[in-house]
Structure 1
Amino acid sequence: MRGPVVVTLQNEASPWGISTSVVLHALFAAILALMPIPKRTNRPEEERVSVDILTPQQFEASTRPPPAPAAPVAPKARAAEPPPASGPPRPQPHSAPAMIRPTEMLSAKTLADPRSRQARADLATFASDERMVQLCNLEAMDQIRRWRADFQPEQVVPYATAEEKITGTTIAANGAAFRSRRNWYGLKFRCQLAHDGESVVGFGFLVGDPVAREKWDELGLPAVH
């Protein structure tokens, strides 16, 4: 390590040395007086910068990326107005009429009458499905007769326009027809029999329009002479 530099002053002075020093100083002063004063250099003015002092919270906030601009909200689409009607409104389709569902079954009472002895004997000779169909045909004639006195049903064809369907002890005849007063009428019925198939326990029916006479032969509906 370098040590400090020690400067030693000399206090002894001779008369010649003093006079010589005075002369030199006077000469140096004269020279300086004669020299032109140097011009001040125009230093460019320093650009001033404004400085803001921020807290740590302010600095953190300033360095966060700017939030993404919110997506513009699309205007709600207006419901399309129905076009003006170009003609009269179309008629709405009518719902199918409900079936008539009587609460009392009538075929058992009819067969119990002494006058139905032959009918009972004939039913005993039929196969199970055919016997159930004939029981339902009889129930249909009895129920139609009670429903409207002006009808006098005397025969039912359960397969006039469509085959009847037998499911277990349920028979659905959507294309049946019955004859009354020498005319044929459309008929639809649903017949529910007991588990043994020997009696009707539930029935519903719907009478349709008269069947055109020119269709009788086509549908197998016998004319009455």
Structure 2
Amino acid sequence: MRRLACAFALFFCSAPCSAADRGLAATLQRLEPETRFHQVCDIETMKRIQAERGAIRPDRMVIDAIRPASEAGDTLSGDGGAIRSGGKWYRLAFSCRASTDRMRVLSLSYRIGGAIPEKDWERYGLWR
């Protein structure tokens, strides 16, 4: 279910802004709260990294590739995420605080780590 929701999120992130906002909100509302929490944090993290226009230009993200993220109240955090850019996967650590309805990110911090060796991709459920 999370991978399907991620596909929706990626589609809406590339659509025109007003259509994306309405469509994404409707899609997110249909998800169970925990999945919605993950997706909202996924989407916002990718948007912010893309906005930086640095060397990392993500096209995919797996919030719990290496290790599950942990929830504490309205905060989702972890150091076992992965983000793909230029055909390579990189480690990702993050902390994301969302609204109680899980529809908005209130605060976000992240750190992009080193590249994940291709030999480890299958083990972590990553793909080309």
Shorter-chain TM-score category?
Answer: 0.7 to 0.9
Q: Secondary structure at the residue paired with 2:59?
A: strand
Structure 2: distance between partners of 1:138 and 1:156? 9
Residue identity over aligned pairs, in percent, reads 26
Following superposition of structure 1 onto structure 2, how do residues 155-170 of structure 1 map, counting pairs within 5 Å? 155-170=60-75
Q: Secondary structure at the residue paired with 2:67?
A: coil
Q: Does 1:190 align with 2:95?
A: yes
Compute the TM-score of the two structures, normalised by the length of structure 2: 0.79
Cα displacement (A) at 1:197: 2.1
Equivalent pairs, count: 114
One-letter amino acid of the structure 2 residue matched with residue 209 of structure 1: G
Cα displacement (A) at 1:112: 8.8
Q: Secondary structure at the residue paired with 2:119?
A: helix
Pairing partner for 2:57 from 152, 169, 175: 152
Q: Does 1:216 align with 2:106?
A: no
Q: Secondary structure at the residue paired with 1:126?
A: coil
Question: Greater CA deviation, 152-161 or 209-218?
Answer: 152-161
Pairing partner for 2:111 from 200, 203, 206: 206
With over 3 angstroms needed to count, the CA separation of the structure-2 counterparts of 1:126 and 1:112, relative to structure 1, is farther
Structure 1: distance between partners of 2:28 and 2:100? 17
Q: Does 1:133 align with 2:38?
A: yes
Q: Which has the larger radius of gyration?
A: 1
Structure 2: distance between partners of 1:112 and 1:169? 29
Q: Secondary structure at the residue paired with 1:176?
A: strand
Cα displacement (A) at 1:127: 0.4
Cα displacement (A) at 1:124: 1.9
**Structure (1/2) with the larger helix percentage:** 2
| Greater relative contact order (CA < 8 Å, ≥ 6 in sequence) | 2
Following superposition of structure 1 onto structure 2, how do residues 43-82 of structure 1 map, counting pairs within 5 Å? none
- Moved >4 Å (runs of 4+): none
Q: Secondary structure at the residue paired with 2:83?
A: strand
Structure 1: distance between partners of 2:48 and 2:60? 13
Structure 2: distance between partners of 1:188 and 1:134? 16
Cα displacement (A) at 1:195: 2.7
**Structure (1/2) with the larger strand percentage:** 2
Cα displacement (A) at 1:150: 2.7
Question: Cα deviations across residues 144-200 of structure 1 (Å, max 9, x unaligned)?
Answer: 122343322111101111101112211012100011121111000000012332211
Compute the TM-score of the two structures, normalised by the length of structure 1: 0.47
Question: Cα deviations across residues 36-79 of structure 1 (Å, max 9, x unaligned)?
Answer: xxxxxxxxxxxxxxxxxxxxxxxxxxxxxxxxxxxxxxxxxxxx
Q: Secondary structure at the residue paired with 1:153?
A: coil
Q: Secondary structure at the residue paired with 1:195?
A: coil
